[in-house]
Structure formats: C-alpha cells, structure tokens
Amino acid sequence: MVFPACRALAEQASFSSIETFLAGRNFSLIYPSILVVNINHLPDNAAWRITSAIADIYWKGCILTDCSVRYAIAPMSLNIPSHASQFLRSRIANVCVAIAGATSAEILEKATVAVKETPFLEIRLDYLEKPLLALPKFKQFFADNTAATAIATCRRSANGGKFAGSLAAELEILTKCAAVGFHMVDLELESAEALKKADLQKLRDTGIGLLISHHDFTGTHDLDGFFTRIEAFHPDFIKVVTTAKSLIDNLTLIHFLERMNDNSNLIGICMGDAGIISRVLGVRAGSAFTFAAATVGEETGPGQIAARTLLETYRIDQVDAATKVYGVAGNPIRSSLSPIMMNTAFRRETVNAVYLALQTTRLSDLLKLVHDIPIQGISVTMPLKQEIMAHLERTDPLSARIGACNTVLRAQDGKLYGFNTDVAGITGPLEKRMPLAGAKVLVLGAGGAARAAVFGLREKDANVFILNRTAETAHKLARQSGSKTIRLDALAKTSFDAIINATPVGMAGNKSAPLLEARDLNTKLVFDLVYNPLETPLIHLARQLSIPFITGIEMFVHQGARQFEIWTGKPAPEEEMFRVVLHALRQQAEAAAAEAEESKPEAKSKSSAKPVAKPASKTKAETKPSAKLKSEAKPKAAAKPPAKPVVKKTAAKAKK
C-alpha cells in the first residue's frame, strides 16, 4: 500500500494536524508491512515533518502487530538513507551502550538496567551461541521499552567479532532484526563488499537503518580510504574505528572527523588505552556518537569506557568547543584516579573543563597533543617528570632545584610553565605529625617523586637517607641535595623517624617485589606515596607491626588540589576531592575482594561453614586512619593562586 502525501496536505496542515490526521486512522488499514510515502513533490522541510510524524505515530503500532519490519519510510525517487538517517539522529544520544552476554536472558537483563539511564543501546548478538533463535525474545523488550533505540551487531570473527557463522547466516540474522524491533544494524565493510547487491537490498528493504563499519586492530591508517569504501554503499551511518598505538593517533582521527564535519552521520573512534581522547572528544570533533561499556569489566572493545564514567565523570554531553582540556600524562595511568578527582572538582566549581588520562612514554607525542588540541594543563607523572623540564619556558624555583616538575600550565601565548606540587603534598602531611627539622627520614627511590621528597625534606632541615635499587642514581641525588645514601643490609640496624616510599612498588598492576621486610621497619612512621590500592603491601606491613602510617591518599589529594588552583585560580574543593577518591578506592577494594572470593575453588567454599565477611566492612575497618586524615586535610578558607614562576628556562634535560 502507498500512502499518498501531496503539496496540498503539507500546505494546509501543520505538524500537529498531520499527526492528528494520521493518528485517527486504523493501523490495520494504512500500516502495511512497508509504508511508502510519496514525497517527491514536497519541499524538504514539509517532507521531513510528514515522514517524522508518520514514523513516530506508527512506531509502537508496528511492534505490537505482526509487521515484518519496525518501520520503513521510503521516498519514491530520493536517496533512501536521507530521511531514515535524520529520523534516527533525532532518537540517538551521544553515548551508545554496548550490551553483551553469554545468553539472551543475560543480555536482556543488562539491557533492562542500562536503558533506564541510557536508552541508546548496541546489542551484541555475536556473543550468543545461537543468535537467530534468540531474536524473538527481544520483541517484548522493545514493546516494554519504547524509548529504547537499538543497534543489532552480529560481527563475524574474521572481522573482530564473536560470530563463527557464515556471511549468509549473518545476513539472515540482521535481516530478521527489523521484525523484532531493532532500529539499526551494524554490518562490517568486509561483509558488505562480499554480499551481492540483491542480498544487501533485501536487508535495506526491511526498512531498518544501516550502519556500515570498519575496525582496524593494527593501527590508525587510511581513514579517508575506508570512508570512501563505506560511502559507496550509501548507508545511514558510517563507522570508522582504528587502534591508537600512540596519543598522536587520536589527533589523526580528530582531524579526520573535523574535515568530514559536513557528514553528520559519521562515527569515529580510536580503540586502546591511548584512545580515550577520541572517545571523550570525538563527539565534539564531529562524531555522531561514541560507544561505551555497560559497566566496568564489561567492555566489548579495547579501551572502552563505562557509560556512567563517560556521562558523569567526563560529562561528555556538556563537552563543547569552549571546554578546556586537561590531563594526567605518563605510564602506567590505567588505574589513576586523577580523572575522577579532577573532573569532580571541575563539576563542583562549575568549570567548563574535562580531564583525561593520557597514557604515553613519549614526551614528543604529549607535546604535540598539548599544542594541537590544545591541552591547557598537565599532571605529569613517571617517567616524564624530569624529561619535560627542558621543554618549559619557565618553572617555579622549587621545580628548578628539584629538577622535576609534576604540573604544567599552558599560558595564553601557548608557552608552557612548570610547577611542583608534590613537595607540599609530602611535607604538609608529615609536618602535621612531627617537626621535620632534625628528623631522620629514609626515602625509598630516586625518581621524580623521590626527588620532590628529598629536596622538600632537606629544605625543612631534615636528615635524609636515600635507598634505591640503582645505587648510582641514589648517590647522584644525594650529592645534589646534601643527603646520604644507605645500603639495604644496614636498615635493620638503623632507626628512623619516618620512612617514605616514593617508588611505584605496591601500586595497582605493579608486580615488583617489596623493597622492605618487617625487620627493616625501624621507624616511628610509615608514609607510602602510592594511593592505589587503598592498603598497599607497605601499609599492610606497618599495620601488622602497629606502626603509625600515612596513606598516599592524603598526598595525592593535596598535590591535586594545588594543581587545580594553579590551573583555575579558584580554591580547590579539597574535601570533595578526598571523598570521591576514598569512595572509588573502597569500591575497588570491594570489587577485588568479591572477585577473589568468586575465584576460590568450589570445594573449598562448600567446606567452609562460616559466612565470608563482607568486603565493605573489612575495607571500612582498614581505612579508618584515612578517615582521620580527611578531617586534617581541609583546604584553607582563603586559598590564593600560586605566584607566577620567575625562574628562567632550564638549560638541559635532567637525567632520570
């Protein structure tokens, strides 16, 4: 059946009256399995209003009847994707949540939860053993969740998916997706090119939206070439996904999106840990939307971010051309809580900014990113704290003496200025507990954080001893700072007022053996600069020996608050920053405890009659000292931005 629409209808009826006219008709009379609207002679704006009204009104009706398609709006002699694409764009959000599971029941359960917060979903049918048999189960889901907009993906294993079936089997599954309520299907470029035109047309004839994608798992290459190959099929959406091997690959993708800005139906993403920039800033650059995981641990692609993190931490819906970009740079930073801490501070103080994790060991890549995006400020971590010094226009006096910088500010003239907030983050917590003048302090390590600790303590007239696995580096730092070195075998015979761990040993993901044993902790206080996990091996050892300790959270939040003030000129919401970091660490501890419990052998768990203690209560007890620190680390009521640095540019790089 053809529903005629002429210029007279468009001229005499407003959008609302068209809707009323159509709604008054019986579905069974005017809604066949394919509804064709002749709009050849209508102005574009009228055509669009009419087709949108028709699709919206019959959306639910098509699901509840036995129609073979969800909807179909086909202009008689115009390019089919044009209006379908526009209609889909009116329903989709910036974030599409990828849902995967081993069974259809698991996928539907996850989708039911996800759709309440983010109604734009991708259902990964290729994760199912028999996706074709599972399709009917989705019909009721779409009937119950009419606000949902869903993409069906059944990617073959040859193209990076999980589906082991043939091309014909994939096509059959995608073709039947329209009948159960899916709005769009994701077809790989390789499959599209292998299909006969007639077979691809059968998929189009269902009226379902067509997204054609290409995934490059080797790097970021020939984006224009892949775009051209996909564009030849005139799909509703074009998806080009690459793998970021470096930060620069994000720039390549972003520049590509900006050049293609006229194409509003293009999706561009870089996979991998280094691709986070594209996932957060891609929509601003012109990507129609981006993809996210349902929750942490349920990623369907390398580097995928959880939907809640994208929406709440990175506030992707609010990122616009005026949004300033900041980040933490170094390696490793996968477990860094700097993004959640800084983005919380930006939101609390209504600063239009976003803070990203920039994983890299190549300073040249980072500097190019800083100037091209641009990035307004960087939290510099290992291994770049010393190397970046040679690229700064000026530094504060403290950074110059230490030879390491952890905070970079990009001024309006594009020049970079360096500061060191690590020192205050280390000496401040110590001074709350003991006078530093004359104190005997052991510092473990000789890198950027250790240099900040050593020079900061020496400035307070403390007697500093340095222990490092590479003795030569320790001797050099000792000479520069007026400190002493000490051998590991001498620790058991030497007592200290404080021992500070300024190495990454104990950090989440770091497998290095502990530097100290119980007999080596002859000290009144232990300070571990590592903040993640909540209880490091060193803190655990100190607790067992009843030695007072300071966790790395206090130092982490204190130095971060100073960075915030340098970048924004506003007092930092330090208590809120502390709260969100502590909460995140407790969540991680609970998740780790639950995972460890699940991984225990089944026989062992059955033999245990006593219930396992809840991870949350254990964490609360173990982090009680940290709660005390919270009350001590209040920001000053009248914090002022640091003075402009005056030291001249460092002459040469400081060696690691």
Structure tokens belonging to residue 416? 């970079």
Question: Position 588: which residue type?
Answer: Q
Does the pTM surpass 0.75? The reply is yes
Q: Which tops the pLDDT comparison, 552 or 78?
A: 552
We find that the CATH architecture of domain 433-555 is 3-Layer(aba) Sandwich (3.40)
Contact status, residue 58 vs residue 26, Cβ threshold 8 Å: no
Average pLDDT over residues 418-425: 94
pLDDT > 70? residue 279: yes
**pLDDT band at residue 241 using 50, 70 and 90 as cut-offs:** very high
CA atoms within 13 A on the CB side of 86: 16
Which residues in 447-505 belong to E strands, given as ranges? 463-467, 484-485, 498-501
**pLDDT band at residue 83 using 50, 70 and 90 as cut-offs:** low
Structure tokens belonging to residue 29? 């009379």
Of 209, 157, 200, give the one whose Cα is nearest residue 181.
209
Quick one: pLDDT at residue 606? Answer: 45
Average pLDDT over residues 137-159: 96
Structure tokens belonging to residue 153? 């993906």
Q: Is 133 exposed, middle or buried (0-12, 13-18, 19+ CB in 10 A)?
A: exposed
Which residues are tagged catalytic?
Answer: 385
Question: Position 652: which residue type?
Answer: A
Biggest CA–CA distance in the chain, Å, is 98
Average pLDDT over residues 334-342: 92
Quick one: pLDDT at residue 477? Answer: 96
What element of type H or E holds 347? helix 338-348
pLDDT > 80? residue 551: yes
Report DSSP state, residue 310: I
Per residue in 175-231, pLDDT (tens digit) is 999 999 999 999 999 999 999 999 999 999 999 999 999 999 999 999 999 999 999
Structure tokens belonging to residue 421? 């907030």
Question: Position 268: which residue type?
Answer: G
State the Cα–Cα distance between residues 634 and 606, nearest whole angstrom.
47
Q: Return the percentage of the chain with pLDDT > 70, whole number.
A: 78
Matching CATH number, 85-321, of 1.10.1380.10, 3.40.50.720, 3.20.20.70, 3.10.180.10 = 3.20.20.70
Report DSSP state, residue 13: -
Report DSSP state, residue 311: I
pLDDT > 70? residue 415: yes
State the Cα–Cα distance between residues 434 and 437, nearest whole angstrom.
9
600 contacts: CB under 8 Å, gap ≥ 6: none
